[in-house]
Structure 1
Amino acid sequence: MISIIINNYNYERFVGMAVESALSVSDAEVIVVDDGSRDGSLDVLERYRDRAIIIAKENGGQASAYNAGFAASRGDVVVFLDADDCIGADWAAVLKSQYSPSATIYQWQLRCIGEDGQPFQPDRLDPERLTPGPVKEALLDEAWYVHPPASGNAYSRSFLQKVMPMPEEDYRYFADIHLINSAPLFGDRVVLPGVLGLYRRHGANHSTRSSRFERRNVQHRVQAHQRRVHALRSGAERAGVSLPAKIDLRAPFAALDRLILAWHDPASLASPGEIPGIAGDGIRSAWRSSRAGGLSKRIVLTALFLILSCILLTQHLWLKTCRPNLKQL
């Protein structure tokens, strides 16, 4: 049996489409967890009570919705579908053709749609980057690998039983990262062929944020990476796998985001003394990581680390010496 668990919070306008898509999947148990929505979501879900399991609970965050849905499920393979996305009707047939007893995670491409349900450009999420093959080595090296958003992943029940229930306060957001960054440590990853779902881009999710240097975008990426590292450490401990030192700074763009956030908010660093260390780790990762790209990109990244660290240290010196003097004038 397959379980499709839809987690919903204030997505009245989208959740009906998500439920309809899940109900179109053959041999699937459909569970919808409403996490204390304050809009009309429950009125929409009431229409499906005879075909799906509806769980209405107080707001506790995404992890609490995942935990509640998984506790009510029976499937050997489990999908956690976001309420603004959809799963393809032929997904189950593709899964069965690619099923592997050693797999802990299945992943597939998603087609992008807009708020109105119409195609969104680019119409797919990094299709050329989601390629079959092992990812455990990349995950242990940089705490990251190429993967789709939450709605493009399914997990074996045997794996989920090892890592759930997940800590709810730690994962009020980014609950999918807890699973995505743990699963490859316990078994194989299988990439299903084709586009097997819809991913909606709209103003209430992070995917529409375009500027890399905008403060809220940087904060989102830093928080997401912190959750990745937390999930990896937790999963590695349970799987008996050792991690390299400074795993949180071994991805060049993670170190870069730490410095960019410090530029926006100096208080994000415990001490200015962290700046040279983060910059040094970032430069080393830029020349070691396959994600950094070719020679020219590695040079640009190195320059960025040097420039940002100089700016931040100068900023700190100004705040420490000049600003107090200006206040006395």
Structure 2
Amino acid sequence: MYSIEDRIPVSIIIANYNYAHFLRRSIDSALGQDYDNAEVIVVDDASTDATADVIASYDTRIKTCIREVNGGHAAAFNTGFASSRGEIVLFLDADDYLYPNAVSEVVEAWKEKTAQVQFRLHIVDEYMQVKDVFPPAELPFDSGDVTPELLRKGRYQTTVTSGLAFNRAVLDRVMPVPERDFRQGADGYLATVAPLHGEVTSIDDCLGAYRIHGANHSVFAERLGQRARWRIRHDFRRLQALSDQATEIGLKIPQDAGLRDPVHLEERLASLCIDSERHPVADDSRLSLAAAGAVASLKMNASRRRRAMLAAWFLSIGVLPRRMAKAILSWKLVASSRPRFLLRLSKTIRHAVG
């Protein structure tokens, strides 16, 4: 254990844009850590709401970085990192918050070769009511050296911004985040390239809350086609960044890595089924994507039952008439669209495979 004098310095960087109504909870959670050597940096990305008043109320308890022009997620990350001093760096979205033991648990789990620590988050609504866990407890984190998974399919089991902590030495190698490519989803860039330079340490406990609400980028309501297209393009940018970083250290990622990734294939199928005219990949077919998805599903790090069910889901989307395929897609991607019997079945299956 570290004494107060020699504890590892930690930086918590809160990225905010027009989230004044959530920001105080986020800042308070960062200041309320049961760890002595943590600085709190708030980056305001040119907000036009009451953010300035919220920030001013904290005076010198936080470090503030005010951006004059809105630059997006990556720009906020880059600005905050440039002002930080911590050897361990957490990026916290302003609508999310940490539990008091988050930093101390991260430090306790830290290892010599750690590039990134990841932990689960409670999914909460606008009123901080817990709705679920992300990632779901039945999906095991990938830990240790995840480079083979990255090189095989461009993804491993990780989490979102507020459930990640990074080694500063690794961030020095991979930052700044490309601001034009990752105006949104900068965490996707960092979580993709950081593990090339060390190991991933996973904590299965929930150490914070990931807030789902109508205004954040994670929610597109019923606009599944729009959401799918954004995620496909984001994946292509991630894969290019991964390829560039891998090449620098003498590794190579196959051009078709995304076709081994069930998450990516799910979005490709969704885009193609829902709005084929605006689908961004010209040569895709439902059947080929479904077949690739079924094969990729069977190789997932999950229970046999879960893998089999996902493979069957992919195949059904590939062979059923388009109207039925679209309904099944929406049932999986938007819980509120599911018939009651399917909601009950989903809960039963989830408990069974957990």
CA contact (8 A) 2:78 2:175 kept: yes
Distance 1:130 1:150, change over 3 A: farther
Distance 1:306 1:232, change over 3 A: farther
CA-to-aligned-CA distance 1:71-114 (integer Å, 9 cap, x gap)? 11111000010001111221222123212121000011111221
Normalising by the residue count of structure 1, what TM-score does the alignment of the two structures yield? 0.84
Q: Any conservation in 2 of the 1:112–1:125 contact (CA below 8 Å)?
A: no
Deviation at 1:237, TM superposition (A): 2.6
Rounded to whole Å, the distance in 1 between the matches of 2:319 and 2:260 is 17
Shift of the alpha carbon at 1:215? 2.1
CA distance in 2, matches of 1:73, 1:140: 31
Q: In structure 2, what is the equivalent of residue 320 of structure 1? A: none
Q: Residue by residue, what CA displacement relative to the aligned partner does 1:12-58 show, whole Å, maximum 9, x if unpaired?
A: 00111111111122210111100010111111101123111101112
What's the Cα RMSD here? 2.7
Whole-angstrom distance in 2 between the partners of 1:307 and 1:223: 26
Counterpart of 2:264 in structure 1 is: 254
Is 2:174 the counterpart of 1:163? yes
Q: TM-score, normalised by structure 2?
A: 0.78
- Check whether the contact 1:4–1:28 (CA below 8 A) recurs between aligned residues: yes
Whether the 8 Å CA contact 2:229–2:271 is kept in 1: the answer is: yes
SS in 2 for 1:275: coil
Deviates more, 1:151-160 or 1:187-196: 187-196
Equivalent residue in structure 2 for 1:301, among 314, 322, 332: 314
Distance 1:296 1:260, change over 3 A: closer
What CA distance in whole angstroms lies between the structure 2 residues aligned with 1:130 and 1:61?
A: 31
The answer to whether the 8 Å contact 2:177/2:190 transfers is: no
- Cα separation, partners in 2 of 1:47 and 1:295, compared to 1, 3 Å: closer
Name the CA distance, whole Å, in 1 between partners of 2:210 and 2:45: 20
> Larger radius of gyration, structure 1 or 2?
1
- Write the distance in 2 (CA, Å) between the matches of 1:269 and 1:169: 19
Residue 127 of structure 1 aligns with which residue?
Answer: 137
Q: Does 1:63 align with 2:104?
A: no
Change (3 A) 1:253 1:71: closer
SS in 2 for 1:94: helix
Residue in structure 1 matched with residue 108 of structure 2 by the alignment: 97
The offset of 1:186, in angstroms, is 1.1
Q: Are 1:116 and 2:116 counterparts?
A: no
Specify the alignment match of 1:28 in structure 2. Answer: 38
Counterparts of 2:112 and 2:259, CA distance in 1 = 34
Using the TM superposition, give the Cα deviation of residue 266 of structure 1 relative to its aligned residue in structure 2, in angstroms. Answer: 1.3
Letter in 1 for 2:284: I
Q: Deviations over 1:114-147 (max 9, x none)?
A: 1122x23225541232436333322222212221
Kept in 1: contact 2:97–2:209 (CA 8 A): yes
Measured at CA, do residues 8 and 300 of structure 1 come closer, stay the same or move farther in structure 2, by a change above 3 Å? closer
Structure 1 281/242 Cα, relative in aligned 2: closer, same or farther at 3 Å? farther
Aligned residues: 307
Tell me the residue number matched to 1:180: 191
Match of 2:232 in 1: 222
Contact 2:119 2:159 in 1 (8 A): yes
1:192 paired with 2:203, answer yes
Q: Determine the C-alpha separation between the residues in 1 that align with 2:66 and 2:207.
A: 28
1:9–1:245 CA distance, 2 compared to 1 (3 A): same
- The letter for the 1-side match of 2:30 is A
Aligned ranges 1:31-46 → 2 under 5 Å: 31-46=41-56
Q: Secondary structure at the match of 1:182?
A: helix
The SS at the match of 2:61 is: coil
Q: Which region of structure 1 is more displaced relative to structure 2, 256-265 or 100-109?
A: 256-265
Residues 131, 248 of structure 1: CA spacing in aligned structure 2 closer, same or farther, 3 A cutoff?
Answer: closer
Q: Identity of aligned pairs, percent?
A: 32
